[in-house]
Structure 1
Amino acid sequence: MRELGISIYPFHATLDENKNYIEMAAKYGYKRVFTCLLSVEGDKNAIVNEFKETIAYANRFGMQVMVDVAPSIFSKLGISYEDLSFFKEIGAYGVRLDLGFSGNEESIMTFNEHGLVVEINMSQDTNYVNTIMDYMPNREKLVGCHNFYPHRYTGLSREHFRNCNKRFKGFSLTTAAFVTAQTGTFGPWPVNDGLCTLEEHRDLPIEVQGRELFNEGIDVVIISNCFPTEDELKALAGINKEMLELECEVYEGVGEVERAIIEKELHFQRGDVGEYVVRSTQSRVKYKGTHFELFNPSDIKKGDVLIESSLYGQYAGELHIARKDMKNGGKTSVVGKIKPEYMGLLDSIKPWQKFKVKIK
């Protein structure tokens, strides 16, 4: 089950502001809440009481609250990895370890009597998770979550991100990662250049970030900063979590059949992949015998949406999306263009992968 989440930072906003945000997110189906004890200083009782009230409010909406901690916080609050009753008392669903122990402690924590989930940092690509597995944890109570990076140019590279994911998915662990709201103004730390996991996401629309993370196999996508507008919450909530969707513009004058091929059909990349185009061929079968007039046979740029005209014989009606610039042989209709922010998703389409194209 793929889910969405938000982040809440007690003492960085008022209790009422956090409650209002929780309620609005719940309205759009958000299920996970990330919150952080790492950046909170002050009176222990005041901290505990505000966290308890905030978490209790999220629980009213059926949301699952993960509390981010480190071994130093365990010491400060008098908590032991062998006794997680503190987190049960404040109503948490689980504990996220920003920095871990030696592996055996995490394994022991997964057998806690309160049924709390233990979430571990998955952004390092070390043998840390392998070590925990050597100590035979309760896998049903162990999950992974990436970091977010408030400082520009410090977020994860795509290659490193994929390596981390592969390691965790090898153990069939649930994974999570963060997107940044472009309208968000704060996180848990003074620096806030956006709080994304992937550096290349920092300035992208939130729905594009979410589609990319789900396309990479992430199970839970969490908004890291506060407070997104309702429009941003709604945009992320409205994406297809199970299948890749691209957005494109279609040029004026394109026929209704061509528009239907673009937006109404379920597309998939053929298995015999070339380097120049993503090739979706079923429309030529469905619309066999239809005349496809040549339209806008201009030279082709990366991201162009193409439909072969009847001048191409048996290929007529086939949809392509250009992955490279190329010459137009005078038989291909250039009917639209993928929106620039979706180019990363275009590059990631795999053989046989299903996808949809939405006209915007």
Structure 2
Amino acid sequence: MTKRTLGISLYPDHSDLNEDKKYLVLASQYGFTRIFMSMLEVSEGKDKVAEKFTDLIKFAKGLGFSTTLDIAPNIFDQLGISYDDLDFFHELGADAIRLDQGFDGQKEALISFNPQEMNIELNMSNDVAYLNNILSYSANKPFIYGCHNFYPQRGTGLPLDFFISSSKRFKDQGIDTAAFITSQVGKIGPWDINDGLPTLEMHRDLPIEIQAKHLFATNLIDCVIVGNAYASEHELRKLGEIDRYQLTFDVSLTTDITQVEREILLDNQHVRRGDITDLVIRSTEVRKKYKQADNPVSSASHDFKRGDVVIGNDNFGKYKNELQVVLKNHSDERKNKVAQISSDELFLLDYVGPWNKFRFRR
């Protein structure tokens, strides 16, 4: 099981080398460790291309990045090389190459035993038995990775159910997985159309950190990569602050929240009870910890809607100071509303299952 990571994308054929390096330095400061680097053309000639990519990859390696090269199939013809010899890409310093085209399974299995020991990244955005076919030819499994596509044209990204189904094919085999999210300010991508570069269509207009939270919350993606360049420093910081292993909901607090309620909400590890209910997500351990703390009935409304965070007040008997997240609208005078989850994040409530851990941040 690999630790979860964050990545950025670079397009050296469409960008300035010094700007790329500045972006790498910035991303490394916020905990990014992987690069998806696109090699689209070799119009400058083999030596010039090698020089540019070696410089950039070596610089990135010095900052702790590993690099996957996405190579357009025509590049092999232009360079006069084949998938049977990855020396050229290895000498550039790349750690992996993405197979932009599929072969017969036996070919991919053979490539996974390349003497340069480069990782081979497969396209995950097909819900077919592609991976199983490759593995059936006794592939070198530790060197096989999976990565979804991104979709520059609005309306062409993957639907969620298809994404989950195709991702499970890789996750079930223990393969390291990656998918793309999109910056809302990045303008650089591989093509002249760039309506953002997400894997999932539903992510296209969402704040970048919510996209990442969602991918990690599916438990199907190990590496989340920003598809377009350049994400803003604000976006990189937001991504760097994410807890990659449990959902942390952004909340706005009510004006009448008490000090005890604030502490229960923000300063504790919350765990959903294993015997779940449709009405609310219950975090019950906190009520034991704050058993002695008074919690007067709030004068605010006790009509609750989905995404409200409530805490049992003094009229709730043994359930006083239990924290609950509302899933279905209801009213209850024995609970005080203390916060509201951001509307953009309400869909993430579906990912808090039995015994799942979660936290709140204002």
- State TM-score, norm by structure 2: 0.95
Task: Tell me the amino acid that sits aligned with residue 316 of structure 1.
Answer: K
Match of 1:268 in 2: 271
Q: Distance in 1 between matches of 2:72 and 2:23?
A: 26
String of CA shifts for 1:162-198, please: whole Å, max 9, x gaps: 1122111111010011111112112111111111111
Judge conservation of contact 1:70–1:100 (CA < 8 Å) in 2. no
- Do structure 1's residue 291 and structure 2's residue 294 form an aligned pair? yes
Within the alignment, does 1:333 sit opposite 2:336 as a pair? yes
1:253 corresponds to: 256
Kept after mapping to 2: 8 A contact 1:297/1:331: no
Aligned match for 1:227, one of 209, 214, 230: 230
Superposed, 1:158-173 pairs within 5 Å as 158-173=160-175
1:321 alignment counterpart? 325
Give % identity.
41
Q: Deviations over 1:289-347 (max 9, x none)?
A: 32221112331111111111121211111111111222x13222111100112112112
Residues in 1 aligned to 2:24 and 2:332: alpha-carbon distance in whole angstroms: 55
Tell me which moved more, 68-77 or 82-91: 68-77
Counterpart in the other structure of 2:127: 125
For 1:290, give the aligned amino acid: A
Q: Residue 260 of structure 2 contacts residue 293 of structure 2 at CA under 8 Å; is this kept in 1?
A: no
The residue number in structure 2 matching 1:310 is 314
State whether residues 42 and 78 of structure 2, in contact with CA within 8 Å, keep that contact through their aligned partners in structure 1: no
Equivalent in the alignment of 1:42: 43
Secondary structure of residue in 2 paired with 1:67: strand
Q: TM-score, normalised by structure 1?
A: 0.95
What's the counterpart of residue 152 of structure 2? 150
* Cα distance, 1:72–1:127 mapped onto 2, change above 3 Å: farther
Match of 1:83 in 2: 85
Q: Which residue of 2 aligns with 1:108?
A: 110
1:71–1:100 contact (8 Å) kept in structure 2:
no
Give the 3-state SS of the residue equivalent to 2:304 in structure 1.
coil
SS of residue paired to 1:208: helix
Question: How far apart, in 2, do the equivalents of 1:12 and 1:50 lie?
Answer: 12
- Out of 211, 214, 217, the position equivalent to 1:215 is 217
Unaligned runs of 5+ in 2: none
Deviation at 1:111, TM superposition (A): 0.8
Gap runs ≥5 in structure 1: none
Counterpart of 1:311, as a letter, is N
- The counterpart of 1:346, out of the listed 322, 341, 349, is 349
Quote the Cα distance in structure 1 between the aligned partners of 2:72 and 2:113.
19
Whole-Å Cα distance in 2 between the matches of residues 322 and 19 of structure 1?
A: 46
Does the 8 Å contact 2:42/2:75 carry over to 1? no
Q: Give the deviation of 1:90 after TM superposition.
A: 1.4
Q: CA deviation at 1:78?
A: 2.2
Secondary structure, counterpart of 2:346 in structure 1: helix
| Structure-2 change in CA distance of 1:190 and 1:41 (3 Å) | farther
SS at match of 1:175: strand
The amino acid of 2:65's aligned partner reads M
1:240 maps onto 2:253 in alignment: no
Write out per-residue CA displacement over residues 199-245 of structure 1, whole angstroms, 9 at most, x where no aligned residue. 11111111111111111121111111111111211111111112221
Please, which moves more after superposition, 333-342 or 294-303? 294-303
**1:65 pairs with 2:58:** no
Q: Residue type matched to 2:235 in 1?
A: E
SS at the partner of 1:245? strand
Q: How well do the aligned residues superpose, as a CA RMSD in angstroms?
A: 1.4
> Which residue does the alignment assign to 1:189?
191
Deviations 1:109-153 (A, max 9, x none): 111111100000111111000101101111111010111111112
Counterpart code for 2:135:
M
Deviation of 1:72 after TM superposition, in Å, equals 4.0
Q: CA deviation at 1:41?
A: 5.7
What amino acid does structure 1 have at the position aligned with 2:233? E
- Find the counterpart in structure 2 of residue 200 from structure 1: 202
